[in-house]
Structure 1
Amino acid sequence: MGKPSLESVIQYWFDEMKPKYWFVCNAHIDANITARFGTLYEKLAAMKPAVSTAPVDTLARIIVLDQFPRNMFRNTHRAFATDALALALSKAGLEAGQDKGLTLTQKAFFYMPFMHSENADDQERSLMLFSIPGLEDNYRFAIAHKAVIDRFGRYPHRNAALGRASTAKEEQFLQEPDSAF
């Protein structure tokens, strides 16, 4: 297997990976992503976030910094360690209009760092971004994510991984079905 490239990220995520596996807990997929893209993740995590001239390369960087850590470092603080970098890339890419030429599915992942943010303003922007026709399923998830941030100011399901104490209300919430994303 050669050195991973931004192009290989796009090929893997959108061509090789079946959409039904994008958001599931699967040890085989987690190990595969780690083996194939772990070195690229470490390289990008150590760099200052900068958009590429090619929008699809910016998208690849966002996926590496936002999606892949959730697989590579599942249930640990590192799963969220590069969220701010991914969000900075998404914001800069949007400012440059880089989402305009992407497919709807690609746009969803370009916008995903807003949904993953624990910032209320980012959640508002997430709703706006996912409100475009064709992203209705993502929009429903954006509403659900925003509701959790509005209620708690953070994602309680991250507390254990991030070493945060949960409040009694958060503990109660975490017992509810579908409380974790």
Structure 2
Amino acid sequence: MHTQPDQPLTSANETFEDVLRFWFPEDDDQPITRQRFEWWFCGGANAEVISRFAPLLARAERGELNDWSATPRSRLALILVLDQFSRTIHRSTARAFALDPLALSLALEGIRLGHYAALATPWQKTFFFLPLGHCEELTHLQRVAELAKALIEAEPRADRELLEFSADQARSHRDVIARFGRHPHRNAVLGRESTPAEREYLAIGRFVHTRSFEDWQDTRMVSE
């Protein structure tokens, strides 16, 4: 696991480069490892995010980091704080999703301004567009699926299979939104009443966001 032992445990004065160094490997030219992937998507970073970045998230919530939107890298760091760190720090509460509209706006504007295209690696680009995948508007989910597919086509490196899993997750989230118009697994925490079809889906418990890379590989092998 990538850690920053020389950094203070908690600070409101982290820079955007501090955020990027924390979230991404030190050498962006190296393929992403399974360990890093699981650290990102399976909760490996949770304790470190909570202990270190809660004060920074509070600043972002107050609008004190808005100037980070000026450049591609600093905008990416702000998106990480609003979209990723908020989900961890406010996990299992409605506040986990409260900053989604702001993160979505930053991502859409950044794509339009060329900030997305200016990023150096496919994983930086993936986290830049993830707010589109976290929203509940089908057009944005479709765009995520298209962007994720484009990253695979442009990616010759060893982490291609992880990108394929990421792209399949994007398509699966899109399919959930196409079916229900929202993410049913959020209904309880957001105080929304589930429909009978959603209750049936929730009872099965096979949610896209909890699917592991190993499960995806197994399903893929069976289908092939």
Same fold (TM over 0.5): yes
Q: What does the per-residue CA deviation read over 1:36-86, in whole Å, with 9 as the maximum and x for residues that have no partner?
A: 111111111222856633211100000100011111111111111111111
- What is the aligned partner in structure 2 of residue 13 from structure 1? 23
- Give, as a single letter, the amino acid of the residue that structure 1 aligns with 2:46: D
The alpha carbon displacement at 1:138 in A equals 2.0
Q: What does the per-residue CA deviation read over 1:5-29, in whole Å, with 9 as the maximum and x for residues that have no partner?
A: 2111111111388221212246xx4
Confirm or deny that 1:44 pairs with 2:54: no
- Give, as a single letter, the amino acid of the residue that structure 2 aligns with 1:75: S
Bigger shift: residues 113-122 or 167-176: 167-176
> Aligned equivalents of 1:101 and 1:137: distance in 2?
24
Q: Which has the larger radius of gyration?
A: 2
1:95 pairs, out of 85, 99, 112, with 112
Structure 1 unmatched ranges of 5 or more: none
- Give, as a single letter, the amino acid of the residue that structure 2 aligns with 1:146: R
Bigger shift: residues 49-58 or 137-146: 49-58
Confirm or deny that 1:122 pairs with 2:132: no
Indicate how the Cα distance of structure 1 residues 99 and 110 shifts in structure 2: closer, same or farther if over 3 A, else same: same
CA contact (8 A) 1:50 1:89 kept: no
Q: 1:9-158 maps to which residues of 2 (within 5 A)?
A: 9-15=19-25, 18-25=36-43, 29-47=45-63, 52-102=69-119, 103-132=121-150, 133=153, 134=155, 135-158=163-186
Aligned to 1:121, what secondary structure does the other structure show?
helix
> Aligned equivalents of 1:50 and 1:131: distance in 2?
31
CA contact (8 A) 2:148 2:170 kept: yes
Aligned to 2:70, what secondary structure does the other structure show?
coil
> What TM-score results when the alignment is normalised by the length of structure 2?
0.73
> Aligned equivalents of 2:69 and 2:47: distance in 1?
28
> What TM-score results when the alignment is normalised by the length of structure 1?
0.90
Confirm or deny that 1:179 pairs with 2:207: yes
Aligned to 1:91, what secondary structure does the other structure show?
helix
